[in-house]
Amino acid sequence: MAGNLKHAIVAMILLATAGCATSPASRLGATVDRQHQADQAYVQGNLAGALSGYQSLTHAMPQNADFWFRLGNIYARLDRPDEAVDAYQHTLGIEPGHAKAWHNLGIIRLREAEAAFARSASAAAGIDDGLQKESADKARDIAALRSTAKPDDAAAASDNPPPPRGTGADGAESKP
């Protein structure tokens, strides 16, 4: 009887440890597969697939700064600046020295500032000529600042968001 009890205990221990030993490995394998799929979707321009993949990855591995950074890039490409900012700030919370996240956060903020000044110029039209001119000038200055990036700057790296889309300070459509 003591032998049967001993075998039962050993069997339970083996079953318990076997489940623990394979579970992390299978989860790691699934995460690696998910990352590969998300990377491929991103490279191929399948932003919906990449978004889903990186959302899943940031949920599975919330302390991985690179996953949050890539998620921010996807949001930026989808013209979802608030979510891009949140993702970049999350990246910086994990890795405060993440230069590309700082750079991309700056680009998003410049886009937002340019759009705000352009809207201010439009709203002030015919009401406050001084404010309209000042806002239009600031929007143009910001647009000029954003266009000064050189090809070897971090802005040219493939991990960064694309140039802005939408209406510029002069009302013309910006090119992606």
pLDDT per position as a tens digit, 97-108: 999 999 999 999
In a domain, 89, yes or no: no
For residue 163, being part of any structural domain is answered with no
> Residue 54 CB: number of other CB atoms within 10 A?
28
Supply the range of the domain harboring residue 56. Answer: 1-61
Collect all residues with Cβ–Cβ distance below 8 Å to 61 and sequence separation of at least 6.
31, 67
What is the pLDDT at residue 32? 87
Taking the C-alpha atoms of residue 13 and residue 175, their distance in angstroms, rounded to an integer, is: 63
**How high is the pLDDT of residue 24?**
66
CA pair distance 160, 78, nearest whole angstrom: 13
Q: Which residues contact 7 (CB under 8 A, 6 or more apart)?
A: none
- Is 149 within the bounds of a domain? no
> Residue 159's pLDDT is what?
56
Considering its fold, how many domains does the chain have in total? 1
Q: Examine residue 39 and state whether it is found in any structural domain, yes or no.
A: yes
Within-domain flag for 55: yes
Low-confidence ranges of the chain (pLDDT < 50): 1, 4-22, 150-158, 160-176
